[in-house]
Amino acid sequence: MLRTTTLLGWGLGVCAAGLLAAAPVQAQVDTVRASTLPGPQLAEKAYNAGLASYQARNYPAALASFGQALAARPDFAAAYANRAATRLALKDYPAAEADYDQALKLEPAAYAHYFGRGQVREAAGHAPEAEADYAEAIKANPAYAPAWYNRGVLRFEKGEYEAALTDFDGAVKADPKLAYVYHDRASTQLRLGHYAEAVPDYTQALTLQPTLLPALLNRAAAERRTGQLPEALRDYDAYLTQKADNPLAYTNRGNARFENKDYAGAVADFDRAIALDPKYAYAWNNRAAARLKLTQYARAAADATEALRLQPQYAEAFLNRGHAREMLRQADEACQDWRQAAALGRAEGNRYAAAAGCAGDAAEVPASAGTK
């Protein structure tokens, strides 16, 4: 998922105060210089210096400045919150959470403090507590899209897709200009099997952010599911023109070409995927399937064998190798492959074996596999 980052925004209209001129020091008098700034001005000056250091990613300096601000003004909630954000950047999660706790004691209705603490808790692996904080942020400010979005991501990650969809809807309502929200709402629709609904959300994500390449790749997947092969192929082409080092993209375009009966084109894509990742078992198996369609049986058997070397429990590779071996008149070996495919959950392996007159009993198909 695409994530939003912590932004500092705590009424930054405070300007750094100018230094007051010190009186001339007499040479013969020992003096101790002390700041002539009153406490509030000193706090604001240190706070602004902390913001500048944070934005420059000089986190140690930012911590020191926010500490100075709090020393001068212990009730400075924004300084606690921004020190917490700095500690989050440094992955000091317990200290960051403690600072947000203090900010919330001072400003219990501040949605941004709840959101920030939620980010800390999420980063620390405390997802339920983070989700509760995002809920409080939403309650305090329903128009704050990042809180809806982050809670949606947490719900997506634990498989609560309907709830995630509701949250992404809330984020879109709060701010309809966030490309990553449309992208992730579309991905949630994919998980729910709502392929037609996913396509316009990916399109809107690309309208808002044309360089969001994952949206091209994922829209192509949704288009394939809705039978829009020409559109899917155009999206794969556009993606690969801009990013030619992704074996998954070549494999997916190869699958689309296979579905479009362009078997030679599919083989070419699987070739590229394998060249980029020689351990990509899925590409080896799919190239075997395309070579079966091209009647290249020996090469198909070799590809399926390599897929099985890389992934020994790959049922589909056993099926494809069985088909290749049958065409190569290796009947016993084909029967063994089909039975093994059935034992791994592909029930049609038993049907192929029976149709070919294979000796012996059918393999027991795992109950969880159902019928395929």
Check pLDDT > 60 for residue 168.
yes
Q: How far, in Å, CA of 267 to CA of 312, rounded?
A: 22
Give the predicted TM-score (pTM) of the model. 0.82
Rounded CA gap, 308 and 321, in Å?
9
Nearest alpha-carbon partner for 106 in 233, 221, 10: 10
Per residue in 317-330, pLDDT tens? 999 999 999 999 99
Residue with the bigger pLDDT between 27 and 240: it is 240
Tell me the per-residue pLDDT of 41-97, one tens digit each, with 9 for 90 and over: 899 999 999 999 999 999 999 999 999 999 999 999 999 999 999 999 999 999 999
Nearest to 331 by CA among 360, 353, 303: 353
Region 244-262: mean pLDDT is 97
C-beta contacts of 293-297 below 8 A and 24+ residues apart: 293/258, 293/263, 294/263, 294/264, 294/267, 295/327, 297/324, 297/327, 297/328
Same fold flag, 38-141 and 263-372:
yes
Nearest in space to 291 (alpha carbons), one of 269, 314, 313: 269
Contacts by 251-256, CB closer than 8 A, 24 or more apart = 251/280, 251/282, 251/283, 251/286, 252/217, 252/220, 252/221, 253/220, 254/283, 254/286, 254/287, 254/290, 255/224, 255/286, 256/220, 256/224, 256/229, 256/232
Which residue's entry shows tokens 């997947």?
A: 221
Is 316:327 a contact under the CB 8 Å cutoff?
A: no
Looking at domain 263-372, its CATH superfamily turns out to be Tetratricopeptide repeat domain (1.25.40.10)
Q: Round to whole Å and give the CA distance between 18 and 36.
A: 11
The top-level CATH class assigned to 149-243 is mainly alpha
Q: What is the DSSP letter of 14?
A: P
Q: What are the pLDDT digits (tens) for 289-325?
A: 999 999 999 999 999 999 999 999 999 999 999 999 9
pLDDT, residue 360, reads: 85
H-helix segments, the chain: 39-55, 59-72, 77-89, 93-106, 111-123, 127-140, 145-157, 161-174, 179-191, 195-208, 213-225, 229-242, 247-259, 263-276, 281-293, 297-310, 315-327, 331-343, 348-355
Q: Are 215 and 183 in contact (CB under 8 A)?
A: yes
Write the pLDDT tens digit of every residue in 5-55.
222 332 222 222 222 223 333 333 333 333 445 567 899 999 999 999 999
With a pLDDT cut of 70, the percent of the chain lying above it is 88
**CATH 1.25.40.10 is held by the domain 38-141:** yes
Residue 160's CB is within 10 A of a number of other CB atoms, namely 15
Whose CA is closest to 168, among 141, 154, 159, 117? 154
Over range 178-193, report the average pLDDT.
97
Q: Which residues have C-beta within 8 Å of that of residue 218, sequence separation ≥ 6?
A: 183, 186, 187, 190, 198, 202
What residues contact residue 356 under an 8 Å CB cut-off, 6+ apart?
Answer: 326, 331, 334, 335, 338
Angstrom distance (rounded) from CA 282 to CA 287: 9
* Average pLDDT value for residue range 146-161: 97
Residue 12: the pLDDT is 26
User: 207 near 242, Cβ under 8 Å?
Assistant: no
Q: Which of 359, 353, 309 is nearest to 301 (CA)?
A: 309
User: How confident is the model over 107-125, as a mean pLDDT?
Assistant: 97
Higher pLDDT, 24 or 170: 170
Q: What is the pLDDT of residue 368?
A: 67
Residue 267: what pLDDT? 98
Percent of the chain having pLDDT more than 90? 85
Domain map (residue ranges) of the chain: 38-141, 149-243, 263-372
User: Distance of CA 153 to CAs 126, 137, 202, 327, Å?
Assistant: 14, 15, 17, 49
